[in-house]
Amino acid sequence: MSLFMAVGLVKRFGGLLATDHVDLAVEQGEIHALIGPNGAGKSTLVNLISGLLPADAGRIVLDGVDLTGLAPHQRVRHGLARCFQITSVFRNDPVRDNLLLAVQAQAGSSFHCLRRREAETALMDAALALADKTGLAEVLDRPAGVLPHGMQKRLDLALALAARPRLLLLDEPMAGMGPEDSLQMIELIGRLRSETAILLIEHDMDAVFRLADRISVLVYGRVLTSGDAAHVKGHAEVQSVYLGTEAHA
Ligand SMILES: Nc1ncnc2c1ncn2[C@@H]1O[C@H](COP(=O)(O)OP(=O)(O)OP(=O)(O)O)[C@@H](O)[C@H]1O
Ligand SMILES: [Mg+2]
């Protein structure tokens, strides 16, 4: 069985069928990219999976557990995390405190058996490990809100990783970045493969082809096809979809 399965997902906005009976599977250790023209329904699909939007029909299953009826924070507890936009960061607080808060939220009661001092050390260690992993060790004392854009996006990612996800949802993590920040983000996402599966929405096709083990193409709310980079590149309908739009992909 796949690590993650979306089965028959449907979402309507009035008369618009934004998600049209979508089936999607993500395997353990997989980076699965979701591509498609503007308005294809990529963000809507991620919002259905994270629970931000209720689905009109269909099921969400992670690790054999049906998450369909659960609220977003409950899904996070079951291992399904997403990058929230940077607004979830406490902008006036140092990067260190933002990381500590996220680690603490995840740790919950798991440190209760430790003495206070030990618990604090364990939380700090976990926060520093996250900073190291995401390239933020040098800016721990800086208020999160003054970080350059690329670092803010990496902090956003670090906060999602604090939840120790089994599946991480990333909606355009490279958006608005220059080439240097993009490259750093691509390398970081690639390194995460060993700790979590990833569903990646991205318009930057270089990034998609470098990172993705599998690519699903969404068009008008439907999955047109799924396969590796060679399959998708050679798919006649995919080519016509992209040639027929001014998509950045
Ligand atoms: N809350 C909403 N209410 C009404 N219509 C919506 C809502 N959210 C999205 N839509 C519509 O649903 C369709 C899919 O939108 P969605 O944002 O999921 O596309 P997308 O693939 O993420 O596009 P982009 O590449 O531009 O981010 C679009 O036609 C959009 O206008
Ligand atoms: Mg979108």
Ligand 1 atom at minimal distance to the Cα of residue 37: 25
Q: Which residue lies with its CA nearest to atom 31 of ligand 1?
A: 39
If asked whether residues 177 and 190 sit together in one domain, one would say: yes
CATH number for 209: 3.40.50.300
- For ligand 1, atom 28, which residue shows the shortest CA distance? 39
| Whether residue 181 sits in one domain with residue 69 | yes
In a mutational test of the pocket of ligand 1, which residue from 9, 10, 16 has the highest number of ligand atoms less than 8 Å from its CB?
16
HSE (CB half, 13 Å, CA atoms) of 79? 16
Total tally of structural domains belonging to the chain: 2
User: What's the burial of 87, exposed, middle or buried (CB within 10 Å: 0-12/13-18/19+)?
Assistant: exposed
Burial of 240 (0-12, 13-18, 19+ CB in 10 A): exposed
Q: Do 5 and 116 belong together in one domain?
A: no
Please list the alpha-helical segments (H only) found in 108-218.
116-133, 149-161, 179-192, 205-211
Contacts of 129 by beta carbon, 8 Å cutoff, 6+ apart: none
Q: Of 164, 183, 208, which residue constitutes the final position of a domain?
A: 164
- Do 179 and 69 share a structural domain? yes
- Residue 193 confidence (pLDDT) above 70: yes
Contacts of 247 (CB under 8 A, 6+ apart): 37, 38, 203
Highest mean pLDDT among 24-38, 79-93, 103-117: 24-38
Among 164, 189, 208, identify where a domain stops.
164
Mean pLDDT confidence for 221-226: 96
> Does residue 224 surpass a pLDDT of 90?
yes
Please name the residues in contact with 106: beta carbons below 8 A apart, sequence gap of 6 or more.
162, 163, 164
Q: Are residues 174 and 249 in the same domain?
A: yes
Average pLDDT of span 91-112: 85
Going from the Cα of 225 to the center of ligand 1, the distance in angstroms, rounded, reads 20
Domain that holds residue 101: 87-164
Whether residue 60 is found in the same domain as residue 18: yes
- Quick one: pLDDT at residue 120? 85
State which of 164, 191, 217 marks the end of a domain. Answer: 164
- 3-state SS of the chain: helix, strand, coil percent to 5? 40, 25, 35
User: Which pLDDT does position 191 carry in this prediction?
Assistant: 96
25/68 same-domain check: yes
Is the domain of 116 the same as that of 69? Answer: no
| Sole residue written with tokens 């399904």 | 80
Residue 111 pLDDT: 64
38 alpha carbon to ligand 1 midpoint, in Å? 8
**Do 75 and 172 fall within a single domain?**
yes
Structure confidence at residue 249 as a pLDDT band (50, 70, 90):
very low
Please write the tens of the pLDDT for every residue from 33-82. Answer: 999 999 999 999 999 999 999 999 999 999 999 999 999 989 999 999 98
Closest listed ligand to the CA of 17: 1
Q: Ligand 1: does its nearest atom lie under 6 Å from the Cβ of 13?
A: yes
Q: Please tell me whether residues 68 and 38 are part of one structural domain.
A: yes
Residue 247 has pLDDT above 60, yes or no: no
Instruction: State whether 175 and 229 are in the same domain.
Output: yes
Residue 246 has pLDDT above 90, yes or no: no
CA of 110 to the centre of ligand 2 (A): 36
In the prediction, which pLDDT does 88 show?
67
Pick the closest to residue 110 from 164, 173, 67 (CA basis). 164
pLDDT band at 112 (very low <50, low <70, confident <90, very high): low
Residues, Cβ < 5 Å to ion ligand 2: 42-43
pLDDT tens per residue, range 197-220:
999 999 899 999 999 999 999 999
Q: How far apart are CA 130 and CA 135, in angstroms?
A: 9
Together in a domain, 135 and 152: yes
Placement of tokens 């990034």 in the chain: 207
For residue 126, pLDDT beyond 90:
yes
Closest of 237, 227, 188, 229 to residue 206, by C-alpha: 229
Record the pTM: 0.92
